[in-house]
Chain A
Amino acid sequence: MFHGRLRKTAIAVAAAGALAVTSACGSGFDDGATPQQSSGPAALQVLIGSSGDAETKAVNDAAAKWATATGNTATVTPAQDLSQQLGQAFAGDSPPDVFYVDASRFADYASVGALEPYGDKLANKGDFYDSLKQTFTYDGKFYCAPKDFSTLALQVNTDLWTKAGLTDADLPTTWEQLQATAEKIKAKGLTPLVVGDTRDRIGAFLVQAGGWLISTDGKQATADSPENLQALTYFQGLQKKGLAVFPKQVDAGWGGEAFGKGKAVMTIEGNWIKGAMSNDFPNVKYTVHELPAGPKGKGTLSFTNCWGISAKSKFKDQAIKFVEAMTSVDQQLAYAKAFGVMPSLKTAKDGYSQQFPADGPFVTGADYAHGPVNAPKMDSVLSDFDTQLQKLATGDPKAVLERVQKNIAAALGS
């Protein structure tokens, strides 16, 4: 009896011990500079966080074309979970040569020295939108080439708009108009606006008010500014009057779903909503407009990836050539056609606007868009901010901003 129990305890403790092994450990003990191979054919490993089959195929085709033209090889692997796979590859000293880097994670990678700062070596470096270049700049160095980008805009459901008795003249271009229009819609018994409950949507209001969470150089926390307070107070006002709701309140996973199901007349989403609407809600008619301007003018958020090159790559020169090929005007327009992203080059703007005239508001957004917070160790701080935003309707905007100010300052200091 006693031994039996002891044995069970031992098994239990051993099982618990297995839990402690949650952190993956890498192997390999070499350090120091990686020898470069600049002559002879290079074998590039490319890891992409693909949005779907269309993107995988398009990147594969482009890589094959580059490989044939230059005599190198490039193997494209779509990742299941990009950030986890990259984390493991870095820990194991076997990172891919070229990989997607999400703008919101960029500073984490750059700060630990995983990325090669090759931006200034690019032949087409002057052609990228400045806001995108700024997004991928860390410590004054332009690290990597923006792959493409998306911005937020306002989507309006045409049928519901008419049903609420509104015309094109009612399309809101300022905060005041947005509120007035929303009140008219609300009076007709419809939900005016659905907005994702995250800084990636509500943050646009901060930009319109002239604020942001962090200074442009990424070194100072600027969250508790009066501008930000004005923005959150305005948004909270919309919530309290029932003019703006979160997707979960209308039983949807994200704004596009709620919008497609007709649960709200307007939503604020990026250009990815086009694909979702044509796939899931092909019969819903809608129009896209620029976001209403705030007290300090127009503002939106941009989302982007860059082509990261590993600091440990053996083929850096060839990798830069590869990235130049991937970000050329023609190639980016081909990508735009294949999977609906917007080119990151200013000279590709006209070509894109001709092909996709309905996307004007998204493209125009590039001129005044703000990128994500580009400082390292921000993930838990920003998810805490999201948590506060989820409770904003009943919370105190000032306390929310003071809290995120404190957390950003602490994360920047460490």
Chain B
Amino acid sequence: MSGSRRRGGIRGNEAVAGWLFVAPVVVILGLFLLLPILMALWVSLSGWNGQGSPFRADVPFVGADNYTRLFTQDGLARENFMTSIRNNAYYVLLVVPAQTVLALGLALVVNRRVLRGRSFFRTAFYFPSVTSSVAISVMFLFLFANTGAVNSLLSVFGLDGPQWFADPRGLLHLSLSGLGLVDLAHPPAALTDGGLLGLSWWEWLSGPSVAMSTIIILVVWTTSGTFMLMFLAALQDVPVQLEEASLIDGAGPWQRLRYVTLPLLKPTMFLVITLGLISTWQVFDQIYVMSQGNPAKTTLTPAYLSYRTAFKDFEYGSGAAISFVLFLLIVVLTLVQRWVMRDRDRVPRTRARLLPTRTRRS
């Protein structure tokens, strides 16, 4: 579709036919995607309280009030929202790199021709991804219980495991106090006095809580299988000739990975990171099942907060506003990521077209 141009003459009716062909999809997408988004947009600008239709005349229009409460008004709404943004940012910062590297590593391992029982490992690594996230969440609740498998294992090594799901202390705070830089009971006044958007610097710098880190481990473990599959598919597209050519040029294994394989995986890398960013900013199931934002709001995320605001407080407008802010955040971050991962060297692109894989993929 991308290369189509308007043409006259014998092909003049193609446009009409084309629209006819895509009409079912346009209708379905419009009805189930675009229309609900527009309705939600209206709700986010209204003071609808959940009684009857939000499109009646007596539903008040409040303009950007629902949005300003999240950013400019000092209150619980802003504090909760900023806390959720902080939690989710640390979550994304840890999950996306970890799951990408792990997925790539696993794909490289199971792609090796000499590995015995390759299909067994492929299935094993992919298995967490096809299992229900609720089931896995419940299993992790058992694993990380205070007397669960993880703490039992730690105690074998003489370590006293934390109370995973009850521990709201931030990892960054813990490591700072571990280094003797700060005292957790008396944080430095320089950090607690100032702040941004309702949270003090000290709170912003907490890092993910111990409870959140269990969810991070869980998500990295479950999603890396899916992304491994994507990397694996891309790896199998890498032509053998290229590897052989680099071998003849005298490249070692590391050089082959760095200068041959990774550049060819760049489109897949982009896809994996984009999908990773989106799904991590939307994390909901695990929070809903495992922690509901507890302990001490350290696992509160915007998606869960949006749900709670709408369905528990009947502030549907605020809830919808949160989801729109989250939506914009994801779009902006995706664009930033695209800009970061753009092709910096223009010349190789034309050369790249000569490569069989590249032309096939474009």
Contacts and interface: CB of A to CB of B under 8 A. Distances in A.
A394 B295 CA distance: 15
Given A1-B362, A90-B52, A249-B166, A390 B334 contact: no
Interface string B129-166: 00000000000000001110000000000000001011
A315 interface: no
B71 interface: no
A333 to B, nearest CB: 34
B296 A387 contact: yes
B307 interface: yes
Contacts of B323: 19-23
Given A16-B334, A380-B309, A4 B40 contact: no
B344 interface: no
A21 B36 contact: yes
A16 B331 contact: yes
B249 interface: no
B6 interface: no
A165 interface: no
A18 B314 contact: no
B256 interface: no
A22 B270 contact: no
A284 to B, nearest CB: 19
Given A12-B334, A19-B327, A390-B168, A26 B311 contact: no
A407 B74 CA distance: 11
Given A17-B37, A91-B52, A112-B51, A23 B316 contact: yes
A23 B40 contact: yes
Contact of B314 (A7, A14, A87): A87
Given A3-B362, A16-B278, A93-B53, 12 more contacts: A1-B362, A16-B331, A22-B307, A22-B319, A23-B319, A26-B54, A87-B310, A91-B50, A376-B314, A379-B308, A391-B168, A410-B75
Size category of the B interface is: 35 or more
Interface stretch (A27-35, A38-46, A290-298, A334-342): A27-35
A14 B309 CA distance: 25
A300 B153 CA distance: 42
Query: Which among B146, B307, B313 has the highest number of chain A CB atoms within 10 Å?
Result: B313
Interface string A235-257: 00000000000101111000000
Contact of A249 (B44, B163, B361): B163
A8 B274 contact: yes
A80 interface: no
Contacts of B226: none
A394 B186 CA distance: 11
Given A91-B52, A394-B185, A387 B313 contact: no
12 contacts: A1-B267, A8-B271, A15-B278, A23-B43, A23-B306, A23-B310, A23-B319, A25-B39, A87-B311, A248-B146, A251-B146, A390-B295
B261 interface: no
A248 B163 contact: yes
B82 to A, nearest CB: 13
A108 B330 CA distance: 32
Interface string A204-244: 00000000000000000000000000000000000000000
A83 interface: yes
Size category of the A interface is: 35 or more
Query: Which among A83, A248, A250, A384 has the highest number of chain B CB atoms within 10 Å?
Result: A248
A164 interface: no
A20 B313 contact: no
B310 A22 contact: yes
B197 interface: no
A312 B163 CA distance: 48
Interface of B: 2, 33, 36-37, 39-41, 43-44, 49-58, 75-77, 80, 145-147, 163, 165-166, 168, 185, 267, 270-271, 274-275, 278, 282, 293-297, 303, 306-316, 319-320, 323-324, 326-327, 330-331, 334, 338, 349, 352-353, 358, 361-362
Nearest to B278: A16
Contacts of B147: 251
Q: Helix, strand, loop or mixed for chain B's interface? A: helix
B51 A4 contact: no
Contacts of A5: 267, 270, 338
A391 B33 contact: no
Which 8 pairs show the lowest CB-CB distances between chains A and B?
A248-B166, A251-B146, A1-B362, A112-B49, A21-B36, A20-B327, A379-B312, A23-B320
Contacts of A246: 166
Contacts of B295: 248, 387, 390
Nearest to A384: B76
Contact of A380 (B76, B185, B324): B76
A390 B294 contact: yes
B43 A114 contact: no
B264 to A, nearest CB: 12
Contact of B361 (A4, A90, A379, A407): A4
A26 B324 contact: no
A9 interface: yes
B76 A31 contact: no
A29 B53 contact: yes
A381 B334 CA distance: 34
A84 interface: yes
Contact of A16 (B51, B52, B327): B327
Nearest to A1: B362
A246 B50 CA distance: 36
A377 interface: yes
Given A15-B278, A19-B303, A377 B53 contact: no
Nearest to B147: A251
B147 to A, nearest CB: 5
B267 A20 contact: no
A377 B314 contact: yes
B334 A13 contact: yes
Given A4-B362, A17-B327, A22 B51 contact: no
Given A16-B278, A390-B295, A26 B53 contact: yes
